[in-house]
Amino acid sequence: MRPFSRHTGLVIIAPADNHLGDGRIDNFIIDSSAHLATGIIVLVTMTAAMLLLGRHALRNEPVTRSSMVVLVVAQVALVAQILLGIKLLDQGQGIVQLYIHYVGGLIPMGAFLVGGWVARGDSGRSSRILFGLVTVGYVSALMAFFIGRSFANATL
């Protein structure tokens, strides 16, 4: 079977002809533009989450259900971004980037995990802690996004 490419939006799927994957995830090639688009979504959702949590922290009030939904959407976007990044590394892309891009991309997930352990947002103090953790994750995501973009643009 000859490999072929079919462009489907942001993702390019190209089945490979080998005996290892047999039609599974190793046989699919993901275009790096999907990682870029997801990175933008991560920044937008994390910005919204940080602003909403900041409002609750300043008012010293518990986090509302709608703010928690935005926080969960940011987490889901971040998980998608991390998984796309892992797949791109598996494809051999992004190897020349500094480790700060990889570490900086995982720090927000760590901030979300710690936030889930120590800050539920059910009190004013808890919302302030959660805001602080999400702010650390947001700054790290910004750093990872722009470092990643600068290295991607440098290698083109």
d(CA 76, CA 70): 10
What tens digit of pLDDT does each residue of 121-134 get? 889 899 999 999 99
Q: Which two tokens stand for residue 23?
A: 């039609």
Q: According to the model, what pLDDT value does residue 80 have?
A: 93
Q: According to the model, what pLDDT value does residue 28 have?
A: 74
Nearest to 135 by CA among 47, 74, 65, 75: 47
What tens digit of pLDDT does each residue of 12-50 get? 545 555 554 555 666 678 888 888 899 999 999 999 999
Q: Which residues, in sequence order, are CB contacts of 87 under 8 Å at separation 6+?
A: 25, 30
Q: How far is CA 103 from the centre of its chain?
A: 12
Share of the chain above pLDDT 90, in %: 42
- Mean predicted lDDT score pLDDT of the chain: 81
Share of the chain above pLDDT 70, in %: 76
More confident call, 33 vs 67:
67
For the question of whether the overall pTM of this predicted structure is more than 0.85, the answer is: no
